[in-house]
Amino acid sequence: MPYNPALVAPMREEMTRMGARELTTVSEVDAALGDQQGTMLVFVNSVCGCAAGNARPALRLALQHGVRPQQVVTVFAGQDVDAAARARQYFAEYQPSSPSVALLRDGEVVHFVHRHQIEGRSPQAIAADLTAAFDRFFAAVA
Amino acid sequence: MSGHVFHPGHQELHGVTVVLETHGPRTYVGRFDSEDARGVHLHDVGVHDASAGGQSREEFVRRCDKFGIRPEHRDLLVPAADVAKITRLVDLVR
């Protein structure tokens, strides 16, 4: 059952403040991820403070890096249930977890960060991993 | 909400994905909930059974890290007597 919208509103705002575009419906997900071109980061948001509480600031830090995805979108697991499920169909090779991060290039998942790779780590450490992935997979098209 | 924790007062590994090795052939990978006199409570648990053949335990753990955990149990209690070692998944694969 989704949390009270008022409770999660700050978690949504944290994402949109850093420039992420929220995808809250299946059609919005399909419009963004279907026939995706260029580079994109998909952040699967979560209410879990143990992991998402560090993942969101990590992403904010990572997006200040010189090389970054051309588009940043987010779905909210457990809140926008249908949209999150649809987004996960675009990276179905990977088991669902939240928070998580998928890096896509021309519709192909080139890197995936699972919840277990976020848990218990500092935002700086998570951001360092993300920026390394940006450099590796996005530098040529940034 | 940066750094906000919804689970105050829980054990250190609460919410963390761990590899639980047993004294038998089974290895579990899942999210640690708690430990009490009965054993270790895990959520969303993948299982490797070395007696069943197939991929090695190391390959199973490596695939869990890369592709995520395919849960066979939503909730699982591993009896205390069976628990040999608990390690964070990220520590085991790095």
CB-based contacts of B60, cutoff 8 Å, min separation 6: B27, B29, B46, B48
The distance of B60 to chain A (nearest Cα, Å) reads 14
Set of chain A residues whose Cβ sits within 8 Å of the Cβ of B69: 95, 97, 116
Task: Decide if A120 touches B, using CB distance below 8 A.
Answer: yes
Cα gap A132→B31, rounded to integer Å: 27
- Any A CB within 8 A of B35 CB: no
B43 in contact with A at a CB cutoff of 8 Å? no
Across the interface, of B6, B16, B70, the residue whose CB is closest to A119 is B16
Q: Structure pTM?
A: 0.88
Each residue's pLDDT expressed in tens, for chain B with a length of 94 residues? 343 344 445 578 888 999 999 999 999 999 999 999 999 999 999 999 999 989 999 999 999 999 999 999 999 999 999 999 999 999 988 7
CB contact under 8 A, B1 and A96: no
What are the respective helix, strand and coil percentages of chain B, to the nearest 5? Answer: 25, 45, 35
Q: Write out pLDDT tens, residues A22-74.
A: 999 999 999 999 999 999 999 999 987 667 788 999 999 999 999 999 999 99
Reported as a single tens digit per residue, the pLDDT across A55-65 is 999 999 999 99
Which of residues 13 through 42 in chain A touch B, CB cutoff 8 A? 14
- The answer to whether the CB atoms of A115 and B17 lie below 8 A apart is yes
